[in-house]
């Protein structure tokens, strides 16, 4: 049984990946997460209680703690998702983004390199450091064109600049030290267990609470939406079969304006959970001040990962969005714990604070 480190495994995408890896492999997963406001162990469901899941509450900036984990568990690889992930938060307070996304990735790379250098030749060849990144590092597109593996970097928010820096560090550790790295750059994810600061869960929960649905600017910014389980499958595939040193772009072929997304959500909710007064959730749409430096359009050309690794998304935007809305309607406990802050007590209750 091999051991794999997943950082950020209590977050939105990390928890989907941990659930997938526990279900579909016999690997032991060491889930390394600091449990910031975005970390929620409840999102792991049964996978969190599986004996092959080991949780460690660790900050990726803590070199000594990381060294101890590498020495204790001797992993075959690392899939690195831990990050500060929300663009609006990065605009209001960039400090945590610089610390975790840049210094944290640097610290993790150095801990991984120290451990990797101690392996025999076969162990070194087999080891993988997979860095999970975003399409936002490429900047903003006009009405046409796509981001691909050869697009030049042009990050424009504190979040995307910090992720770009981390991508550069990872590639530098490959070129300079030979660490077998992989980088994936993915478009906007949506699905179960996403923290309700991001567009889709925020709109679902605001709609149900009878609150305004705040649309930035004119609502004509475009994102390329990918269902989170499709991303998790792509990450597993790249980690297992990707070419060391390579980059793979991952995207959903689902370009939508924010207005289209909000309208679709309102119509779904009108069908699945009609408003008590019989009116449409569309009436709650509200245009608000734009996000500073708001990138206009993202879209990914995912040809390479399809051609080389045979990946393609299984969900359409329509099927994925309906699954997502149903998931939020069917999980009032998860939602209530996130909204009340009770999810932060889970660690104490289930691990006696010892993790």
Q: What tokens appear for 25 in the block?
A: 């492999």
User: Which of 90, 88, 80 has its CA nearest to residue 58?
Assistant: 80
Return the number of the residue (18 or 215) whose C-beta is nearest ligand NAD: 18
Site for ligand DAU in 238-277 (CB under 6 A): 258
223 lies in the site for ligand DAU, by CB under 6 A: yes
86 lies in the site for ligand DAU, by CB under 6 A: yes
Q: One of 136, 224, 229, 230 is an active-site residue; which one?
A: 136
Cβ 250 vs Cβ 32: under 8 Å: no
- The entry of ligand NAD, ligand DAU, none near residue 223 (CB within 5 to 8 angstroms by kind) is ligand DAU
Residue 277 beta carbon to ligand NAD: minimum distance, rounded to whole angstroms? 34
Residue 276 beta carbon to ligand DAU: minimum distance, rounded to whole angstroms? 24
Residue 24 beta carbon to ligand DAU: minimum distance, rounded to whole angstroms? 25
From 221, 247, 284, 324, residue interacting with ligand DAU (rule: CB under 6 A): 221
What does the alpha-carbon distance between residue 177 and residue 57 come to, in Å, rounded to a whole number? 29
Instruction: Please tell me the count of residues contacting ligand DAU according to CB under 6 A.
Output: 19
Catalog residues that contact ligand NAD under the rule CB under 6 A.
7-8, 10-14, 33-36, 38-39, 59-61, 81-85, 100, 104, 132-134, 163, 186, 188-189, 195
User: Which of 153, 189, 139 has its CA nearest to residue 295?
Assistant: 139
Q: What tokens appear for 87 in the block?
A: 């663009």
Residue 181 beta carbon to ligand DAU: minimum distance, rounded to whole angstroms? 19
167 lies in the site for ligand DAU, by CB under 6 A: no
Q: What tokens appear for 159 in the block?
A: 């979040």
Return the number of the residue (76 or 102) whose C-beta is nearest ligand NAD: 102
Return the number of the residue (14 or 180) whose C-beta is nearest ligand NAD: 14
What does the alpha-carbon distance between residue 270 and residue 272 come to, in Å, rounded to a whole number? 6
**Burial (0-12, 13-18, 19+ Cβ within 10 Å), 332:** exposed
- The entry of ligand NAD, ligand DAU, none near residue 10 (CB within 5 to 8 angstroms by kind) is ligand NAD
Single out the segment in contact with ligand DAU by CB under 6 A; choices: 15-23, 45-53, 132-140, 226-234.
132-140
Return the number of the residue (127 or 298) whose C-beta is nearest ligand DAU: 298
Query: What residue number has its CB nearest to ligand DAU?
Result: 134
- The entry of ligand DAU, ligand NAD, none near residue 195 (CB within 5 to 8 angstroms by kind) is ligand NAD
- The entry of ligand DAU, ligand NAD, none near residue 266 (CB within 5 to 8 angstroms by kind) is none
**Burial (0-12, 13-18, 19+ Cβ within 10 Å), 149:** middle
Buried b (16+ CB within 10 A) or exposed e, 3-24: bbbbbbbbbbbbbbbbbbbbee
**Burial (0-12, 13-18, 19+ Cβ within 10 Å), 269:** buried
Judge whether 197 counts as a catalytic residue: no
User: Which of 194, 216, 182 has its CA nearest to residue 305?
Assistant: 182
Identify each DSSP E strand in 20-153 by its residue range: 28-33, 53-57, 77-80, 128-134
From 215, 238, 266, 325, residue interacting with ligand DAU (rule: CB under 6 A): 215
- The entry of ligand DAU, ligand NAD, none near residue 202 (CB within 5 to 8 angstroms by kind) is ligand DAU
Return the number of the residue (134 or 151) whose C-beta is nearest ligand NAD: 134
Cβ 84 vs Cβ 91: under 8 Å: no
Judge whether 190 counts as a catalytic residue: no
User: Which of 261, 231, 222 has its CA nearest to residue 249?
Assistant: 231
Q: What tokens appear for 311 in the block?
A: 């990946």
- The entry of ligand NAD, ligand DAU, none near residue 33 (CB within 5 to 8 angstroms by kind) is ligand NAD
What does the alpha-carbon distance between residue 261 and residue 203 come to, in Å, rounded to a whole number? 9
Name the residues annotated as catalytic.
135-136, 159
Instruction: List contacts with ligand DAU (CB under 6 A).
Output: 85-87, 134-136, 187-188, 198-199, 202, 214-216, 221, 223, 258, 291, 298
């Amino acid at each position: 049984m091999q051991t794999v480190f997943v950082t950020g495994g209590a977050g939105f995408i990390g928890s989907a990946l941990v659930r997938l890896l526990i279900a579909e492999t016999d690997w032991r997963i060491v889930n390394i997460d600091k449990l910031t406001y975005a970390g929620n162990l409840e999102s792991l469901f049964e996978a969190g209680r599986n004996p092959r899941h080991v949780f460690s509450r660790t900050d990726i900036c803590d070199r000594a703690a990381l060294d101890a984990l590498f020495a204790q568990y001797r992993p075959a690889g690392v899939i690195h998702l831990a990050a500060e992930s929300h663009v609006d938060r990065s605009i209001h307070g960039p400090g945590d983004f610089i610390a975790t996304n840049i210094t944290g990735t640097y610290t993790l790379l150095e801990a991984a390199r120290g451990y990797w250098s101690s392996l025999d030749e076969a162990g070194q060849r087999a080891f993988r450091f997979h860095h999970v990144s975003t399409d936002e590092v490429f900047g903003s597109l006009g009405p046409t064109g796509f981001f691909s593996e050869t697009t030049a970097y042009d990050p424009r928010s504190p979040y995307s600049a910090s992720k770009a820096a981390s991508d550069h560090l990872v590639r530098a550790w490959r070129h300079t030290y030979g660490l077998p790295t992989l980088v994936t750059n993915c478009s906007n994810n949506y699905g179960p267990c996403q923290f309700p600061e991001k567009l889709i869960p925020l709109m679902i929960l605001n709609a149900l609470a009878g609150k305004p649905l705040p649309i930035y600017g004119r609502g004509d910014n475009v994102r390329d939406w990918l269902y989170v389980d499709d991303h998790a499958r792509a990450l597993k595939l790249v980690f297992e079969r990707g070419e060391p040193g390579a980059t793979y772009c991952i995207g959903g072929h689902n370009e939508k304006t924010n207005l289209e997304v909000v309208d679709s959500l309102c119509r779904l909710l009108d069908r699945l959970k009609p408003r008590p007064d019989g009116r449409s959730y569309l009436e709650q749409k509200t245009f608000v001040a734009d996000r500073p430096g708001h990138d206009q359009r993202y879209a990914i050309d995912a040809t390479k990962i399809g051609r080389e690794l045979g990946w393609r998304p299984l969900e359409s935007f329509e099927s994925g969005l309906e699954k997502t809305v149903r998931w939020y309607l069917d999980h009032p406990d998860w939602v209530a714990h996130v909204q009340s802050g009770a999810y932060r007590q889970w660690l104490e209750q289930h691990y006696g604070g010892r993790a």
